[in-house]
Structure 1
Amino acid sequence: MTETNSASVIFKEFKEHSIAEFFKKNKQMLGYSGLVHSLVTVVHEYVTNSLDACEEAGILPDISVEVRPVEEDRYLVRVRDNGPGIPKKFVGKALATILAGTKFHRYMQQRGQQGIGAAGCTMFSQITTGKPVIVRSSTGDDDGYSCKVYIDTMTNKPVVTEVANAEVPRGLEVQGEFGSVKYENSDHGVYEYLKRTALANPHAQIEFIDPNGKTNLLMRATDIIPKRPVPVKPHPLGVSVNDILELAQISESRKVSAFLMESLSRVSQGKIDEIRKIVGAEALEMAPRLLKWDDAKALVKAFKAIKWIAPDSSSISAIGEQQVKTALKNILNPEYMYVVERKPGIFAGGVPFVVEAALAYGGNSGKKVAEDAYEGNILRFANRVPLLFDSGGCAITVAARSIQWKRYGIDLDTQPVSVFVNVSSVHIPYSGVGKESIAQEDEIIEEIKLALMDAGRGIQRYIRGKERIGTEAGKYKTIMRYTKQLSKDVSALTGEDQGKIESELAALVSSHYKDILNDKGSETPEEGEAAGAQDDSGEGQ
C-alpha cells in the first residue's frame, strides 16, 4: 500500500526564497551559460552601467577594461570609468542587491533596466570563487573610498566590509575574480564585444588590456554626448488591465478622469469625453482606488476603440545617422556605406521604438574567412548594446535573412558586407532574461526589413556604378593597346608623323573615357553616406 502524507507534513518543507537565491541556482538566466559567454556577460554588465552613468551625468565616457588570467578558467576583471561615481551609502544597494537600481521604474530608454546586472556579477564572483568584489569610487568631492562587497543570497541583502577612505579620481572602479569563464579572441569574445560597443557608442573611449597584457585603444570618434531620453508616461494603447489597476492604487487623483489624464500620455479632455461615451459617466467619476478588474478592462477596451496620437518618442535616444556614419568610418573604414534611420514606430499596441540600419561595403566590413575570401556579417544592437549570442531567433537576424540580397547586387556569403541594425525603445522585448536576442514582434521585423531594403538600394547603386566603371575601364585599356599599331598604319597611309597621330588618338580616347580616368563613374562615398529617404513601398524585396 502506498504511504500517504498529510498536508501538514508536506508543508513542513514549505520555505520562502529570496530572488538572489533563485538566480544563484539559475545563473544561466542572467547570461552565465558558458565559459566564453559568462566572461562577456561580466564585462557587458559593468561597461553598460558605466556608459549609462556617464551619459546621465553629461560626461564623455572614458572606460578601461582589464582581463587578467589567474588560473585555468579563472580571470580577474577590472572595469574603471570617469563617471559620477557611487555615493558610499548606496554602494551596497547598487552592486549587491538584486532588482535594485535607478532604472526599472522610469519609462524611458536605458541600456539596463532590471537592476540585476552589476549585482549579478557580484553573485557570480561569490559562487565561482568565494570572493567579494573590490570597489573604489568617488563622486569628485574628496569623498573617495574603497570597500569589499558581497551578497547575502538568503536575504538578498548587501554586505559591505573593509570600508576605508581612499584617494580616488571621480568615477567607479570595480574588480572581481570570476571562475567558470574563458577568454577567447573570437566573434563572441570580450574584444569583439568592446569593438561593437565602440561602434554603437562613438562618443565613448574604451581601453582594453587583454590577458596577454596588450593594450587596445578604441578611440572616441565624436565629442557629442547622446541626447538624454526624457521619462514619459505610458501610452493608453500600451497598458494592460493590471497596469491600470496598479497605477490607480498609487494615484492621488479624486476621479478616474483626472487619474487618466495625469497618469497616461496623450489623454486630453477631448479624449476623456470620447472615453465617457463608451464606458459611461459613472465609470469616470469614481475614485481611482475603487476601480475593479472589470472597470479597468472596460477602460482598456475603450482605449482601443479610439484613435490616438502616436506615443511620445522623446523617451527614445537613437544613435543618430551622422553618429552611425562616424562610428562606421572609425571602426570599419568601409569603401562605401549607406545609413537609414526610420521614423518612430510602435509595437505591442503603444510602445515606441526606432530602427537604425546601415550597410557597410569593403574596407574592414564583413568577416575574412580565408586569404582574399570574405563573407557578410550581421551586427545586432539593442539600445546601443551589442548582441553577440542567441542570434538565430532574434528579430534582427530573421528580418535580415528574409531579404533577397542578390536583388541588390549583394551576396552575404561571398562579399565583405556588414549589416548594422540598432533597435532603440523604452522597452526592448528581449526573448530571455539574458537580453541577447530581440523577440520576433511583427512590427519590429517589418521596420527592420524596410530600413535594410532602403539601405540595399543605396548600396546597389554604388555596386552597379562600380561594375560599370570596371567594364568601361576594360574597354579603355583594350582600345589603348591598339593606338600604337593604328597610328603606325595611319602614318603609312598619310605620311603624317606617327608620334603626333598616336598622341592625338590617345587624347581622343582619354577624352571619351574621362569619367573612368577620374573615377567618377558612380556615386561618391560622400553621397552614399547621407541617410536615405524613408521609403515604405517595399520595392525590391
Structure 2
Amino acid sequence: MYRYATNNNNNKGEIVMPIDSFSQFKEHSVAEFFKKNKQMLGFSGKVRSLTTIVHEFTSNSLDAGEEVGILPEIFIQLEEEGDDKYKIAVQDNCGGIPEKYLGKALGQLLAGTKFHRYVQQRGQQGIGASGCIMYSQITTGKPAWVRSGYKNVIIECNIGINVSKNTPVITNLTKTMGEFSGLRIEAHLGDVRYENSGYGVYEYLKQTVLANPHAQIEFIAPDAQRYMFPRAVDVVPKPPIETKPHILGITANDLVEFSRRIKESRISAFLAEEFSRVSSNKVKELQELLPDIDFSQPPTSLNWDTAEKLIKAVHTLKWIAPATDILRPIGKENVARALQNILNPQFIAQSDRSPQIFHGGIPYQVEVAIAYGFTNGAHNRIMRFANRVPLLFDAGACGLTEAVKTIEWKRYRIDDFENMPIAVFVNFVSVHVPYTSAGKQAIALEEEIIAEVRNAIMEAARPVKGYLNGIVHLQERSSRRKVFLRYVAQLAGDMSELADMPKKKEAIKKGLVDLVEHRVGLIEEAEDAEAETAKEANAANGAVANGQENGNGKKDFEEKGE
C-alpha cells in the first residue's frame, strides 16, 4: 500500500515519489502506551496525580495485609522538594515481597497476582504501583528506592522501568538478614501538588480508614503536620476467596475463550469444573435441551455456533445464586462504627443487599449507609467506594453517583440534599469492579448495578424518613405545649383576681398546667396509636415494594439445593 507526496515547490503539483506507509510500522510496549496516555492511570492534574500515587501504594498495602492476615500499619510521609516536587515515603508491615517477584511487582506494568484471578481485591490490573514508579521516573528522572522484608530477608535496591520493553531495571541491590517484615517505597515526584481539599491526600486517607476500620494509618503532611488515623476494630477481615465465573453471566465469546485454555477432556466436565454453580444435574438439563450437541466431545471442539446455543440454553434454566462467602463487605457494625468515628452523626441508617451478578458471571454486593446530622465536616456528600477504596474523582461519570442522584429524596423528607447535613456511603464489593478506566475512579453505568444501588439507598432512606418525621413530630408537640402554656400565668392571675383569692394564684397556675399536660397527653396518645397503625400498614406495603424493587435488574435464582 502506497501514498504519494507532491513537491510543494512544484506549481503543477506533479507526483514526486511513492511512500510506503508501512515503513513506519512499529510495535510498542504497554509501558510506552501508558507513558503517552498517563491520564488513563489517573495522572491528570497535579492534585489528582499525587492522590492517585498515595491511593495505589496504600491499596497494595491493605491487600497484602488481608492476604497474610495482618492488621495493617501504614506510614506515609510527603516532603516538599521544590515547586510541584515532592518526595513520598510509604511503609507497611504487611509481609513484603520476595526477591524473585520484587522487580516485576514494582517495575513492570500488567504483572502481578490480580488481573487473572476472580477474587475480591482493591487492585485489579497489576498496573498501579508500577505506574507510580514509572510516573516518578518520567517526571524526575530518578528511580524509586525500595526496602522489602520477606521471611527475615531484607532486600534494598533501586527500581526503575525500561519503558520501551516494559521490564524492571534493578540497581544497587543488597541483601541482609533482619526482623523487618513489610515494604517501604521512597520515590521523587514531579508535576504534583499537595492540597488539603476534598480531592487531596488527607481526604483520601480519612475515607480509606472509614472503609477499612481495621487499618491504622499515620500521615505526615508536607508542612510536618502529623495525622494519626487509629483503627476502629482489631479484627483482620477474612481473606478473600478466589472463585469461578458464574455461568449465568458468561457470553459465547467467554465460553469459546475458556474452552481453549483448560485441560478437561469433555464439554460436560469443562462446564462443571470451570464455572460456578454448574452441577452434574444442571449439565444433564443442558444435554436434554441440546440433544444435537455431543457433551462427550473435548471442549476445544466448541465453535461459535455451539457456544451460542449453549448460552441460550443456560438462560432458560434457573440457577443457584453466586456464592456469598467469596465477597468481603465491610459489615454493618463496622460501617456504623467508622461513620460514628469520622462524622459523628446524630443518626445512621444502613442497608446491605444479598449478592447479585452482572455480565461475565461476576458476583457483586452493595453496602449503603446514610448518615444524618453530622458535626464533623464532610467534603463529599456522596462517599463512593469500590472494594473499600475511596473514589474521589470522576464522580459525574460514575454509576454510584448516578444511582444517588436519581433518588427522589423529597419522598424521604430530605428536601435539600445538597445543603442538608446528610452523607450517603456506598461501597461496591466484587471480584471484578467494572471501572470506566485504568484510573479506577468511576464505576461503569451498568443498568443492573445502578438499579441495585438505588434499591439499597431507598431501603436505607426509609428509616431516615422515620427519624426526620420523629424530629418534626417532637417539634410540633413542643410548639403545641408552648401555645397552651404561654397564657397559663396570665390566666391564673386573672382567675385569682376575679375570685379575690390572690394567694391561690400559684395553685391555680399549677392546676392549669396539669390540665394542659393531661389534655395534650391524651392527644399525643391518640396520635401515637394512629402512627403505630400507619407504621404496620407501611411495613406491609414496604414488603411489597421491596419485592418489586428486588425484581428490578436482577436474575431469577432458584433456592440452594437441587
Fold conserved (TM > 0.5)?
A: yes
Partners of 2:66 and 2:123 in 1: how far apart? 13
Q: What are the superposed Cα offsets for residues 230-272 of structure 1, whole Å, 9 maximum, x if unpaired?
A: 1111111222333223322332222111111111111112211
Identity of aligned residues (%): 47
Partners of 1:354 and 1:377 in 2: how far apart? 21
Gaps of 5+ in 1: 369-375, 516-520, 524-531
Determine if the alignment matches structure 1 residue 63 to structure 2 residue 74: yes
2:266–2:298: 8 Å Cα contact kept in structure 1?
yes
Letter in 2 for 1:457: R
Select the residue among 406, 410, 416 that pairs with 2:410.
Answer: 406
Select the residue among 148, 165, 169 that pairs with 2:158.
Answer: 148
Shift of 1:461: 0.8
Determine if the alignment matches structure 1 residue 497 to structure 2 residue 508: no
Select the residue among 425, 431, 440 that pairs with 1:435.
Answer: 440
Gap change, CA 1:510 and 1:70, over 3 Å in 2 = farther
Determine if the alignment matches structure 1 residue 393 to structure 2 residue 397: yes
Structure 2 match to 1:528: none
Aligned pairs (5 A) from 1:467-486: 467-486=472-491
Structure 1 match to 2:9: none
1:335–1:362: 8 Å Cα contact kept in structure 2?
yes
Determine if the alignment matches structure 1 residue 161 to structure 2 residue 171: yes
Aligned pairs (5 A) from 1:216-295: 216-280=227-291, 282-295=293-306
Gap change, CA 1:159 and 1:508, over 3 Å in 2 = farther
- What SS is found at the alignment partner of 1:213? coil
Select the residue among 184, 190, 207 that pairs with 1:196.
Answer: 207
Determine if the alignment matches structure 1 residue 299 to structure 2 residue 310: yes
Partners of 2:130 and 2:457 in 1: how far apart? 37
Structure 2 match to 1:418: 423
Partners of 2:500 and 2:63 in 1: how far apart? 80
2:244–2:275: 8 Å Cα contact kept in structure 1?
yes
Determine if the alignment matches structure 1 residue 28 to structure 2 residue 39: yes
Shift of 1:295: 3.0
Partners of 2:60 and 2:18 in 1: how far apart? 50
Select the residue among 308, 311, 316 that pairs with 2:322.
Answer: 311
Structure 2 match to 1:206: 217
Partners of 2:291 and 2:548 in 1: how far apart? 42
Partners of 2:452 and 2:250 in 1: how far apart? 22
2:66–2:237: 8 Å Cα contact kept in structure 1?
yes
- What SS is found at the alignment partner of 1:220? coil
1:450–1:536: 8 Å Cα contact kept in structure 2?
no
Shift of 1:209: 1.0
Structure 1 match to 2:50: 39
Shift of 1:63: 1.1
TM-score by length of 2: 0.86
Gap change, CA 1:503 and 1:428, over 3 Å in 2 = same
Cα RMSD after superposing both structures: 2.7
- What SS is found at the alignment partner of 2:233? coil
Q: What are the superposed Cα offsets for residues 349-373 of structure 1, whole Å, 9 maximum, x if unpaired?
A: 63221111111111236658xxxxx
Select the residue among 453, 458, 462 that pairs with 1:448.
Answer: 453
Shift of 1:39: 0.5
2:383–2:425: 8 Å Cα contact kept in structure 1?
yes
Letter in 2 for 1:276: Q
Partners of 1:367 and 1:202 in 2: how far apart? 18
Shift of 1:3: 4.7
Partners of 1:456 and 1:4 in 2: how far apart? 72
Partners of 2:54 and 2:213 in 1: how far apart? 18
Letter in 1 for 2:504: D
1:367–1:377: 8 Å Cα contact kept in structure 2?
yes
- What SS is found at the alignment partner of 2:118? coil
- What SS is found at the alignment partner of 1:535? helix
Partners of 2:385 and 2:105 in 1: how far apart? 25
Partners of 1:47 and 1:269 in 2: how far apart? 43
Partners of 2:517 and 2:234 in 1: how far apart? 45
Partners of 2:100 and 2:387 in 1: how far apart? 30
1:73–1:179: 8 Å Cα contact kept in structure 2?
yes
Q: What are the superposed Cα offsets for residues 109-158 of structure 1, whole Å, 9 maximum, x if unpaired?
A: 1110100000001100000001111111212x431232111111111111
2:79–2:88: 8 Å Cα contact kept in structure 1?
yes
2:251–2:360: 8 Å Cα contact kept in structure 1?
no
Structure 2 match to 1:529: none
* Count of residues in Structure 1 that have an aligned counterpart in Structure 2: 519
Partners of 2:396 and 2:456 in 1: how far apart? 20
Partners of 2:302 and 2:18 in 1: how far apart? 43
Gap change, CA 1:365 and 1:355, over 3 Å in 2 = farther
Letter in 2 for 1:419: V
Shift of 1:338: 0.5
Shift of 1:381: 1.0
Structure 1 match to 2:558: none
Partners of 2:301 and 2:395 in 1: how far apart? 46
Gap change, CA 1:164 and 1:404, over 3 Å in 2 = same
Shift of 1:175: 1.1
Shift of 1:394: 1.0
- What SS is found at the alignment partner of 2:317? coil
Q: What are the superposed Cα offsets for residues 366-388 of structure 1, whole Å, 9 maximum, x if unpaired?
A: 658xxxxxxx7111111111111
Select the residue among 532, 546, 561 that pairs with 1:535.
Answer: 546
TM-score by length of 1: 0.90
Gap change, CA 1:509 and 1:66, over 3 Å in 2 = farther
Shift of 1:507: 5.2
Letter in 2 for 1:31: G
Letter in 1 for 2:172: E
Determine if the alignment matches structure 1 residue 457 to structure 2 residue 462: yes
Gaps of 5+ in 2: 1-13, 523-527, 533-541, 551-562
